[in-house]
Amino acid sequence: MNKLTQRIDKERLLLGIAAPLLAIVAALVVTALVILATGKNPGSAFSDMVTYGSASDSQVYILNKATTYYLAGVSVAIGFRMNLFNIGVDGQYRIAAFFAAVLGGALTTPGWISIPLIILCAMATGALWAAIAGVLKVTRGVSEVISTIMLNSIATAIIAYLLQPGKLAELQSGGTVISTKPLPSSSYFFQINTGAAGELWGFIVIAVVVGVAYWFVLGRTRFGFDLRTVGQSESAAMASGVSVKKMIATSMVISGAVAGLIGMPTLLNDSHQFSNDFPTGIGFTGIAIALLGRNNPVGIALGALLWGFLERTTNHLEFEGYDKEILGVIQGVIVLCVVIAYELVGRYGLRRQQQRVGAELAAQAATTQKQEVA
């Protein structure tokens, strides 16, 4: 018996490594073909990506970007575990960052009060915005896909309305950039100075804490068990006494609260204000990263780092004369490959398991028959 569990574990481990490996090899092959088709040399492109991506300032860039992407990935993954497709992460983080920036600009309290207040304000705004979709779903049965995507547009419109001089924003010198009142320097989040490589954002610590909390709550608490149960089968969860409606609303709120954190590394570590060039579309990147990381806290981190690496290095590929659209191609191919590879490996593993169980049962049947005959 002991021997058997050992063998299964080893095989599971092997299969677990096989899937991402297969995906990355397939993605590399497809990307190489695409670059070849544009008449360029894929080999030198890959080697440029590795040398440029491993430079120290690139590492800092990648870690900073990955901090934002990790939070986005976790936010989407919370919904995924529950079988909820929260497309609204994008709107949730933007409206959260906006109101947090407005609050931060108005606060004159010392940093140890302001920073937690700004972060809490962002989480509360994100949670409230997501709660609209959650409430609509449980009370009216509105699909969260539809409601959250609509709420994204509404968030854009609300921000555009309020981000005007004389409302909640001011015009900066030069007359072209419009932004909320900048945060006082006491409200800046700490950074780690790495010398010539630039500043590593301190918010990476919060991202790690969120990752650990995600792992603990989903994997080690009763709430997490209930949430995963509802995600796998609503009827089974209901039969075992879980209030499905309450779980849907709660997980939507939690997903929104984490989404509220997405804009915080940029706001507290980098821009210190919400201006009309605040980055957009990170919520959608989060969907790709959650898929890439298979909703696993470590997997999402790897996905976020990979995404940051790709953005950094493909930016430089343009400099080397490759087409800038190559980034989109690589990202799309990787996500497709990962999803397909996991499905293939999963099916293969299932078949192996069935075969083995079948063989063991047959062997058992054979021995019992022999005994009967004897």
Partner 1 sequence: MRRVAKLSAACIATAALALTATACGSTSSQNDSSSSASSGGGKGIKIGLAYDVGGRGDRSFNDSAARGADKAVKEFNGSIKELTAKPSDTEADREQRLTDLASAGYNPIVAVGFSYAASVDKVAKQFPKVNFGLIDSVATSPNVDSITFTEEQGSYLAGVAAALKTKKDHVGFIGGVDVPLIKKFEAGYVQGVHDTNAKVKVDVQYLTHGSDTSGFSSPDKGKAAAQGMLDNGADVIYSAAGSSGNGSIEAVHGAKGAWAIGVDSDQYNIPGLAAYKSSILTSMVKNVDVGVYDFIKSVHDGKPLTGNQVYSLAKNGVGLATSGGFIDDIKAQLDAAKKKIVDGTVKVKTAP
Binding site for partner 1 (CB under 8 A): 51-52, 54-61, 63-65, 94, 156-157, 159-160, 163, 165, 171-178, 194-197, 200, 208, 266, 270-271, 275-282, 285, 311-312, 315-316, 318-319, 324
Least distance CB 25 / partner 1 (angstroms): 25
Write down the residue that tokens 């609204």 correspond to: 88
Structure tokens at 166: 């004389």
Q: Please give the C-alpha separations between residue 343 and each of 15, 18, 298, 333, in angstroms, as whole numbers.
A: 11, 12, 19, 15
Residues 78, 363: Cα–Cα separation, whole Å: 44
Q: Smaller CB distance to partner 1: residue 225 or 284?
A: 284
Residues 204, 271: Cα–Cα separation, whole Å: 16
Residues 296, 84: Cα–Cα separation, whole Å: 16
Instruction: Indicate the DSSP class of residue 193.
Output: E
Least distance CB 51 / partner 1 (angstroms): 6
List all residues 6 or more positions away from 374 whose beta carbon is below 8 Å from its beta carbon: none
Structure tokens at 13: 């481990």
Least distance CB 287 / partner 1 (angstroms): 14
Q: Smaller CB distance to partner 1: residue 137 or 312?
A: 312
Structure tokens at 262: 């997405």
Instruction: Indicate the DSSP class of residue 200.
Output: E
The separation between CA 328 and the C-alpha centre of its own chain, rounded to angstroms, equals 17
Least distance CB 256 / partner 1 (angstroms): 19
Residues shown for the chain: 374
Residues 271, 354: Cα–Cα separation, whole Å: 55
Least distance CB 175 / partner 1 (angstroms): 6
Least distance CB 240 / partner 1 (angstroms): 28
Decide if 44 contacts 180 (C-beta within 8 A).
no
Q: Smaller CB distance to partner 1: residue 114 or 285?
A: 285
Q: Smaller CB distance to partner 1: residue 65 or 294?
A: 65
Least distance CB 272 / partner 1 (angstroms): 11
Least distance CB 285 / partner 1 (angstroms): 8
Q: Smaller CB distance to partner 1: residue 94 or 294?
A: 94
Q: Smaller CB distance to partner 1: residue 110 or 281?
A: 281
Least distance CB 110 / partner 1 (angstroms): 26
Other C-beta atoms within 10 Å of 41: how many? 12
Q: Please give the C-alpha separations between residue 40 and each of 29, 44, 66, 318, 324, in angstroms, as whole numbers.
A: 14, 9, 29, 12, 13
Residues 40, 327: Cα–Cα separation, whole Å: 15
Structure tokens at 231: 């995600």
For residue 165, list its beta bridge partners: 169
Q: Please give the C-alpha separations between residue 346 and each of 9, 18, 77, 340, in angstroms, as whole numbers.
A: 15, 10, 20, 10
Please state whether beta strands 170-171 and 178-179 pair in parallel, antiparallel, or not at all (unpaired). antiparallel
Least distance CB 297 / partner 1 (angstroms): 12
